[in-house]
Amino acid sequence: MSQEPLFFDDLAVGDRFETGTHELSADDIKRFAGEFDPQPFHLDDEAARETIFGGLAASGWHTAAITMRLLVTGGPKLANGIVGAGGGIEWKTPARPGDILHVDSEVIELIPSRSRPDRGIVVMRSTTFNQRGEVVQVLTPKLMLARRAA
């Protein structure tokens, strides 16, 4: 990751960024679920075995939160931070206890603002993988990013 902040004008379609990793534990999964998504397949190993997940699975929102943390701490250093302006999220396979997650991001579109010349929208595809290379989540945010002063 570059130490210098990146502005809209510094990016090009196809630019790629990779984060560090985060290991997920059963305790982490249960703690997050207990506060934010208290469903049996996130809270109880035995109950989870009887669901479509077939075992304890992290909440998709937990995966999204880990993805955000990885992007903020090890993704592209954007000039004004990671400021969302919409987007989409897909959960492909559940994150499980012991999974080691990392995120690969690619710039897929750059949209200069017509009404605010000091900024633009960067569309990224941020794919969260586990240690087996399985896609856990695909996040496609639209990020508002400052342009360099003219």
The lowest-confidence range among 2-11, 47-56, 117-126 is 2-11
Supply the DSSP string of 63-112, one letter for each residue.
HHHHHHHHHHHHS--BTT--EEEEEEEEE-S---TT-EEEEEEEEEEEEE
DSSP state of 6: B
Per-residue pLDDT tens digits for 19-32: 999 999 999 999 99
Instruction: Please report which confidence band the pLDDT of residue 3 belongs to, taking 50, 70 and 90 as the band edges.
Output: confident
User: Tokens 């400052």 label which residue?
Assistant: 146
Domain 8-146 = CATH 3.10.129.10:
yes
Per-residue pLDDT tens digits for 54-73: 999 999 999 999 999 999 99
- Burial class, 147, CB count within 10 angstroms (exposed 0-12 / middle 13-18 / buried 19+): middle
| Domains of the chain by residue range | 8-146
pTM across the whole model: 0.94
Supply the mean pLDDT for the chain.
Answer: 95
Tokens describing residue 49: 């075995």
User: Contact, 54 vs 40, CB < 8 A?
Assistant: no
